[in-house]
């Protein structure tokens, strides 16, 4: 039975959370302060510590990396989650954080994910980002509602052998999703073969995918097994499948229908067992209408669709991703981890990120190269200026105002002059996320 230490000075909250965790089969101990936690409990005997930040005496963050805890993961709860403090908590080594008020299901899901990780991973310094999951979802970072929806769908589809079509703008992380599907599948012990269809010359794509026999074409001096065969027993990931030429589309459709591979120049077919994940930033339905993509192949591919949200619709995930890239880049370069200045945080939150996560990663890499190692400023990020209306909407965000409070102020001050679509756009979130936050904060729109 997992042991959890709950450190919270509000007795009502502490009792409620203890009952909630106990109902899930956890052995829960309590403390009202850091001092009580350290003096009355053997911290190293717990599997997880959940602590509030503001406690009598020392802050709950003092438990992160405590020598008495011997690497026990610490989950931080706070009602004062400013942009900077949330990132700082993760930098100090917290395994994750929750902003009050939170849903009970959100806490339970997070606790389950943390406890399911190998202890060796928990003992390592936590990356300063809120990962969707520490194992199967490696590299997918963020706790926005949009990313939780993606996670839920991946958990359902990954254990099956269903063909998956991943849709999303360039730079949203489609290959990371494909790799996560493979890791969570029963094929995880076999090969994961990624193929960028746009990077292979049109005249070679069929040979590369399906192999060829000696003499099949000029230059074919020996037989060659294709990438589909290389993925036998595992997963084949066809990125940018919208760029596949018509002739290769026909061969791929035949393979999906029969499970057989026939080399170019051969009359014999071979059975293979391959799970296919395809991805594109193109509108395949429009391509079908235009006659540039086969309708029968399109319907074969979209057994399950996974749509990745653009970064501009993921809210606070942008800061979590930025912090992750800063830490990883600094570690590789063997340099101290610099902090983000308030103006850099503001720039990250207000930029529309047309290049999505890839653009953010490149901006952080550029800033790390140009910085002196102390602080990353907005100027070092080198982001293109946004339209004035968008900049004006968030220009007044002080560094010590919580994201929740800023959201409340902005909605109340502008909802009589803006539509829901305009509000969501100015806040850099989706209409669905705007609605969810309204409901949670009791800010229903007046009719």
Percent of the chain topping pLDDT 90: 32
Q: Which helix (H) or strand (E) holds 256?
A: helix 246-258
pLDDT at position 402 is: 56
- Angle at alpha carbon of residue 27, lines to 23 and 32, rounded to 5°: 100
pLDDT tens, position by position, 336-385 = 889 899 899 989 998 989 889 999 999 999 999 888 867 899 999 988 64
- Please report which residue ranges of 334-443 form alpha helices under DSSP H: 342-350, 356-370, 378-381, 388-394, 403-414, 420-427, 431-441
Q: Read off the pLDDT band of 84 (50, 70, 90).
A: very low
Tell me the residue length of the chain: 447
- 3 state DSSP class of 308: coil
Structure tokens given for 217 = 């074409």
**CA 7 to CA 52: how far, in whole Å?**
6
The answer to whether residues 8 and 79 touch, using CB atoms and an 8 Å cutoff, is no
Q: Is the dihedral of CA 332, 138, 174, 98 positive or negative?
A: negative
**CA 68 to CA 76: how far, in whole Å?**
17
**Mean of the per-residue pLDDT values of the chain:** 81
- Angle at alpha carbon of residue 308, lines to 305 and 314, rounded to 5°: 150
**CA 7 to CA 4: how far, in whole Å?**
10
**CA 42 to CA 317: how far, in whole Å?**
35
For 426, phi and psi rounded to 5 degrees?
Answer: -65, -35
- 3 state DSSP class of 382: coil
Average pLDDT over residues 203-214: 82
The answer to whether residues 276 and 163 touch, using CB atoms and an 8 Å cutoff, is yes
DSSP state, residue 187: T
User: What is the DSSP track for 144-159?
Assistant: SHHHHHHHHHHHHHTT
**CA 37 to CA 41: how far, in whole Å?**
6
370: left (phi over 0), alpha (psi -120 to 50) or beta: alpha
Q: Which residue has the higher pLDDT, 138 or 312?
A: 312
User: What is the DSSP track for 208-224?
Assistant: HHH-B-TTSSTT--S-B
Q: Cα dist. 162→156, 274, 305, 343 in Å?
A: 11, 10, 10, 45
pLDDT at position 207 is: 84
Q: Read off the pLDDT band of 226 (50, 70, 90).
A: confident
Beta bridge partners of 271: 260
Beta bridge partners of 78: 99
pLDDT at position 428 is: 65
Of 326, 350, 353, 352, which is closest to residue 340 (Cα–Cα)? 326
For 444, phi and psi rounded to 5 degrees?
Answer: -60, 140
Average pLDDT over residues 222-250: 88
State yes or no: pLDDT of 420 exceeds 70. yes
For 165, phi and psi rounded to 5 degrees?
Answer: -110, 115
Which range has the worst mean pLDDT, 229-238, 395-404, 427-436?
395-404
Peptide bond into 101 cis (omega under 30): yes
Q: Read off the pLDDT band of 387 (50, 70, 90).
A: very low
Q: What is the pTM of this model?
A: 0.58
User: Pairing state of beta strands 260-262 and 269-271?
Assistant: antiparallel
Q: Read off the pLDDT band of 12 (50, 70, 90).
A: confident
State yes or no: pLDDT of 92 exceeds 90. no
**CA 373 to CA 307: how far, in whole Å?**
37
Q: Read off the pLDDT band of 304 (50, 70, 90).
A: very high
State yes or no: pLDDT of 298 exceeds 90. yes
**CA 216 to CA 207: how far, in whole Å?**
9
The answer to whether residues 235 and 277 touch, using CB atoms and an 8 Å cutoff, is yes
pLDDT tens, position by position, 146-170 = 888 998 899 899 999 999 999 999 8
Structure tokens given for 82 = 């400013």
Sequence-separated (6 or more) residues with CB below 8 Å from residue 58 = 33, 34, 35
pLDDT at position 398 is: 52
- 3 state DSSP class of 289: helix
State yes or no: pLDDT of 112 exceeds 70. yes
**CA 130 to CA 317: how far, in whole Å?**
8
């Amino acid at each position: 039975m997992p042991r959890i230490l709950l450190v919270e000075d509000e007795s009502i909250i502490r009792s409620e959370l203890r009952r909630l965790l106990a109902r899930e089969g956890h052995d829960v101990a309590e403390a009202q302060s850091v001092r009580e936690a350290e003096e009355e409990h053997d911290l190293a005997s717990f599997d997880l510590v959940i602590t509030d930040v503001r406690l009598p005496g020392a802050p709950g963050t003092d438990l992160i990396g405590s020598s008495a805890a011997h690497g026990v993961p610490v989950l931080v709860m706070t009602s004062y989650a400013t942009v900077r403090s949330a990132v700082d908590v993760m930098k100090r080594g917290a395994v994750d954080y929750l902003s009050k008020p939170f849903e009970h299901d959100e806490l339970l899901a997070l606790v389950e994910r943390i406890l399911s990780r190998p202890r060796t991973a928990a003992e390592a310094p936590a990356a300063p980002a809120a990962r969707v999951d520490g194992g199967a979802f490696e590299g997918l970072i963020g706790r926005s509602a949009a990313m939780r929806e993606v996670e839920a769908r991946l958990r359902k589809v990954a254990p099956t052998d269903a063909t998956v079509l991943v849709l999303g703008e360039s730079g949203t992380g489609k290959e990371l999703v494909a790799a996560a599907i493979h890791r969570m599948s029963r094929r995880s012990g076999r090969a994961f073969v990624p193929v960028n269809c746009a990077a292979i010359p049109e005249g070679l794509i069929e040979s590369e995918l399906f192999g060829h026999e000696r003499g099949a074409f000029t230059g074919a001096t020996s037989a060659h097994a294709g990438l589909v065969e290389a993925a036998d027993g595992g997963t084949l990931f066809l990125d940018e499948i919208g760029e596949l030429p018509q002739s290769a589309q026909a061969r791929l459709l035949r393979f999906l229908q029969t499970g057989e591979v026939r080399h170019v120049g051969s009359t014999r077919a071979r059975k293979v067992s391959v799970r296919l994940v395809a991805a594109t930033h193109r509108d395949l339905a429009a391509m079908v209408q235009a006659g540039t993509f086969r309708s029968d192949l399109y319907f074969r591919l979209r057994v399950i669709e996974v749509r990745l949200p653009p970064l501009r619709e993921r809210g606070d995930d942008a800061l979590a991703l930025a912090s992750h890239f800063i830490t990883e880049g600094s570690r590789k370069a063997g340099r101290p981890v610099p902090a983000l200045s308030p103006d850099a945080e503001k720039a990250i939150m207000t930029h529309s990120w047309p290049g999505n996560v890839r653009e953010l990663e490149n901006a952080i890499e550029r800033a790390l190269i140009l910085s002196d190692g102390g602080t990353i400023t907005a100027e070092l990020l080198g982001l293109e200026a946004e339209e004035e209306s968008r900049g004006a909407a968030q220009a007044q965000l002080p560094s010590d105002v919580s994201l929740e409070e800023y959201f409340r102020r902005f909605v109340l001050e502008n909802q009589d002059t803006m539509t829901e679509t305009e509000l969501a756009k100015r806040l850099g979130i989706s209409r669905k996320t705007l609605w969810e936050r309204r409901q949670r904060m009791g800010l229903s729109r007046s009719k």
